[in-house]
Amino acid sequence: MEIVIAAEKPSIAKLLSEYMRRRVSPEEIRVSENPDETGSFYIGLDLDHFILSPNGEIESNNLKLAD
């Protein structure tokens, strides 16, 4: 596990590449701070959205349609 200290796009793109199992370049992502958690970031990639927690874990933050 890698700990991301700052919103460095190359580091975040590398973690997202591992999570998605495909190459993601730093130019493809949008990164912003998550005001709900110190050291956490929102990541945008095309129409997908993710959250990077302070411990380096990435999870999907996409909306799901209700039945």
The string of pLDDT tens digits covering residues 10-39 is 999 999 999 999 999 999 999 999 999 988
pTM score, two decimals? 0.77
* CA gyration radius, the chain: 12
Domain boundaries, the chain: 9-60
Position 60 scores a pLDDT of: 92
Is residue 3 scored above 70 in pLDDT? no
Position 22 scores a pLDDT of: 95
Position 65 scores a pLDDT of: 59
What is the separation of C-alpha 64 from the centre of its chain, rounded to a whole number of angstroms?
18
Measured distance CA(16)–CA(2) in Å, rounded? 12
Of residues 58, 59, 64, 52, the one with CA closest to residue 6: 52
Of residues 59, 27, 28, the one with CA closest to residue 42: 59
Residue written as tokens 């999870």?
A: 59
> Collapsing DSSP states into helix, strand and coil, what is residue 32?
strand
